[in-house]
């Protein structure tokens, strides 16, 4: 059993519950937060490379690193900090096999790390996405707070459905991690082989 955690206390709790491996998710990750307690998710945002070595030192099971890693340099850094493996998410979203909306894929490739936001405006639970016009407006000081999950997801369903016809990313549920600009549009197999070859070359240097 793999458990995805985003804090040290969650990692210890997961190991005590019998997890065979622990996936450490940094705050840089795209999509919904892997927080045990959603109410604390936005207050306990910890970067991967701060959290990873502390969890590695604290547990006795293999640790898998994820969040913001999308190239060989990130892989090597995670392995150097004690990870047994690395998981990449946003880095693969532009691969043709992902079949995401072209506007979403283009936005990922152009995004700066600060061009993403963690918000509850799509589903009612915290998730990191491209900072689109909708996200910025819905998180503004005058915007009403999002409804709880899954009510908010239902409320945004018509918008998200209509957005698939758009040529703009502004209404899409465009999940993305902070390392999105490092992603590539190559086929997934080719991208994977290149990542590992480059990582091996760095490790051997």
List pLDDT tens digits, range 85-119: 999 999 999 999 999 999 999 999 999 999 999 99
pLDDT, position 39: 86
Residue 3 burial by CB count (10 A; 0-12/13-18/19+): exposed, middle or buried?
buried
pLDDT, position 120: 97
pLDDT, position 142: 95
Which tens digit of pLDDT belongs to each residue from 56-70? 999 999 999 999 999
Label each residue of 107-152 as H, E or C: HHHHCCHHHEEEECCCCCCCEEEECCHHHHHHCCCCCCCCCCCCHH
Query: 179: closest CA among 75, 46, 70?
Result: 70
**70 neighbors 91 (Cβ within 8 angstroms):** yes
Average pLDDT (181-193) is 97
Which tens digit of pLDDT belongs to each residue from 19-50? 999 999 999 999 999 999 988 889 999 999 99
**129 neighbors 116 (Cβ within 8 angstroms):** yes
Decide if pLDDT at 131 tops 90.
yes
Confidence bin at 190 (pLDDT 50/70/90): very high
Average pLDDT (165-170) is 94
pLDDT, position 1: 94
Mind giving me the DSSP string for the chain? Answer: -EEEESSHHHHHHHHHTT-SEEEEE-TT--EE---SSGGGTTT----HHHHHHHHHHH-SS-EEEESS--SHHHHHHHHHTT-SEEE-SGGGTTSGGG---HHHHHHHHH--GGGEEEESTTTSS-EEEE--HHHHHHTSTTSPPPPPTTHHHHHHHHHHHHHTT-SSSTTS--B--TTGGG---S-HHHHHHHHHHHHHHHHH-
**Gap between the Cα atoms of 193 and 190, Å rounded:** 5
**Gap between the Cα atoms of 26 and 134, Å rounded:** 25
For the chain, give the mean pLDDT. Answer: 97
pLDDT, position 205: 86
Query: 31: closest CA among 70, 68, 62, 83?
Result: 68
What are the tokens at 25? 């998710």
């Amino acid at each position: 059993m793999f458990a995805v955690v985003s804090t040290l206390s969650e990692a210890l709790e997961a190991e005590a519950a019998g997890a065979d491996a622990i996936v450490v998710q940094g705050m840089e990750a795209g999509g919904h937060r892997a927080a045990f307690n959603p109410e604390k998710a936005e207050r306990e945002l910890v970067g991967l490379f701060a959290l990873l070595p502390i969890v590695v030192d604290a547990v006795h099971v293999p640790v898998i690193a994820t969040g913001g890693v999308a190239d060989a340099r990130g892989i090597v850094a995670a392995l150097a900090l004690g990870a047994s493996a690395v998981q990449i998410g946003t880095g693969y979203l532009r691969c043709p096999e992902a079949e995401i909306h072209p506007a979403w894929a283009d936005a990922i490739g152009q995004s700066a790390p600060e061009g993403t936001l963690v918000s509850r405006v799509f589903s009612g639970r915290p998730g990191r996405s491209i900072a689109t016009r909708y996200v910025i407006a819905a998180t503004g000081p005058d915007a009403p707070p999002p409804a709880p999950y899954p009510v908010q997801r239902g409320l945004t369903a018509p918008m998200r459905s209509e957005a698939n016809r758009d040529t703009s990313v502004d209404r899409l549920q465009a999940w993305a991690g902070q390392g999105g600009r490092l992603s590539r549009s190559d086929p997934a197999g080719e991208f994977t082989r290149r990542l590992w070859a480059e990582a091996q070359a760095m490790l051997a240097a």
